[in-house]
Each structure stands twice: as structure tokens, then as C-alpha cells.
Amino acid sequence: MRDDLPTVSFPTTITVPALGIGTWKMGEDPDKVPDEMSSIRAALECGWSVVDTAEMYGEGGAELVVGAALRGCREKAFVVSKVYPWNASTQGVQDACARSLERLAIDKIDLYLLHWRGDVPLTETVAGMEILRQQDMIGAWGVSNFDVDDMEELFSIPGGENCAANQVLYNAARRGIEFDLLPWCQERSLPVMAYSPLGQGDLLHHKEIIRLSKAYQATPAQIALAFVLERDGVLAIPKTSRPDRIRELSEAVDLEISDEDWAELDRALAPPAAKKPLEMI
């Protein structure tokens, strides 16, 4: 187990490694479940801790896979799950959380996120999240796919400042958040969870990522991940269903890319020069 991964701290004073495993597309095909479980276990063995799932993934199937993988090693994991926006009323969020806990076969979700903003007023969702926290069914709550204006609205309502994280699309080819959302979160010490850090695999074929991988004798996936891990307060949650890829991805932490090469990457995959609406998948 590695103890040299960089870390991020949630406002609840919990600190976790800045690398966790995503589980979207897991739990959809029974033939793939053994590999998916092994991959989650391998991530925990490598000290990744954070396991990111959602009631949406495989319509509960991914939570079942996570629950099975955590059997006997729950204490190693920091479990993140998400509620559908249409389940995010004050009562709905409590009911959805209870269902997720049952599928995950655990007593408490460490971080529970509103998956994206829907029609339910934020005051209702926050009230439900706060009840879940008081009942110890969740350790902390946060949001996902919230842009700066959404965050400002959230922080203006009672309890909204208890939001512990924002999970958004972020990778070397999707850098929009660097203009405003990322600094907004960093100023408040609010962790950003970077989803699709490998660009769902597509980024690994980019010319500049391949150039850097050759220059550093690394794999394209390691370079893509190193880009995200370079940012303060950002937690990357790559998904892989292949246990052999966990060690490869872990080694991204050891890469020391020079300032000149980061500047070269900025020329090929430029940071935003103006505000862009938050992109989401």
C-alpha cells in the first residue's frame, strides 16, 4: 500500500488521498463483475480510498458491485455516492440514501452528492442532506456539475455552506473550470472531484499526451492523470475495470513533469481565456 499519494481535505476535516476509483459502467454486465470487484479491491490496496459511485450507475448495479468489493475491508474505503436530481426532495433524498446504503451493504456513505441540478429547490435538498448527516447515514454531502453561479446560490441558503465537495468534468482537454470554478473552490478549500480525468479514454490518443508519455517513459493514462493531480485540492477519480491498470495509474503520482513540458501542453491544450459554461457528460 502506498502512503505517498497527494491528499485533499474536506471541510469536515477528513483528509483522503487525491486519487480514487470511478465506477460508472460497472455493474451492467454480470460477466464483468469479478474484474470490477478486483479493480476496486486493487485500488484500495494501493491506498486510493475514495470509491465513487451513484444510484444511476447500472441503475444500482454499480453500488452492488462496490458493496460486494468492500466486504471485509469497509474501513479502507471512503465511499461517495450520488442521488438523482429527481430524488432530491427533503424526503426523497433520505429514501434514496437508504436504498443506496442497502445496495452498498454499509451503515454510512462518507460523502453523498446531488448528481446534477434539477427542478427540486436547493433548500429542500440541503434540508434532506442535513437530516442524513444528523442521523449519521452520511458523513458529509456535496454537489456535482455545479457551476460558479450554482455554488454561489447554494452557499447563500441556510446550511449551504456545509457543502463538502463539487464533482465536475476536468481533464487536460476539458479545462473550462480553470477560469473561475476551480479558483472559487480553492479559495474556500472546497475539494473538486475531477471526473473523466482520462477523457473516457479518448484523451489518451491526443498527440501532446502521447509526446509526453514518450518523453517520460510513461503511459498516456499516467500523463493524463498527472495533469489533474498537479492541481491543489483536486481529487481524480479514473475508472478502470482492469485491476492491472490500477498500479499503472498509481505510478502517475511519481511523474515529475518539467515546467517547460507543462507549458508545451498548455500550448497544445490551452487553458480557457474566457468564461465557458460548465461542461458535463
Least distance to ligand NDP, CB of residue 235, Å: 11
Look up residue 194 and give its three cell numbers: 475531477
Q: Which stretch binds ligand NDP (CB under 6 A): 8-16, 176-184, 205-213, 245-253?
A: 245-253
Nearest to ligand NDP of 34, 158 (CB atom):
34
# of chain residues touching ligand NDP (CB under 6 A): 27
* Residue matched to cell numbers 465513487: 52
Gyration radius from the chain CA atoms? 18
Binding of residue 98 to ligand NDP (CB under 6 A): no
Binding of residue 250 to ligand NDP (CB under 6 A): no
Binding of residue 11 to ligand NDP (CB under 6 A): no
Binding of residue 275 to ligand NDP (CB under 6 A): no
Exactly one of 10, 146, 195, 227 binds ligand NDP (CB under 6 A); which one? 195
Binding of residue 17 to ligand NDP (CB under 6 A): no
Nearest to ligand NDP of 90, 200 (CB atom):
200
Residue type, 255: L
Look up residue 213 and give its three cell numbers: 508519455
Exactly one of 5, 221, 228, 253 binds ligand NDP (CB under 6 A); which one? 221
Binding of residue 239 to ligand NDP (CB under 6 A): yes
Binding of residue 281 to ligand NDP (CB under 6 A): yes
Binding of residue 69 to ligand NDP (CB under 6 A): no
Q: By rule CB under 6 A, what string of x and - marks binding of each residue 124-163 to ligand NDP?
A: --------------------xx------------------
Written in H, E and C, the secondary structure of 14-62 is: CEEECEEEECCCCCCCHHHHHHHHHHHHHHHHCCCCEEECCCCHHHHHH
Interface with ligand NDP (CB under 6 A): 22-24, 52, 115, 144-145, 167, 195-201, 204, 221, 237-242, 245, 248-249, 281
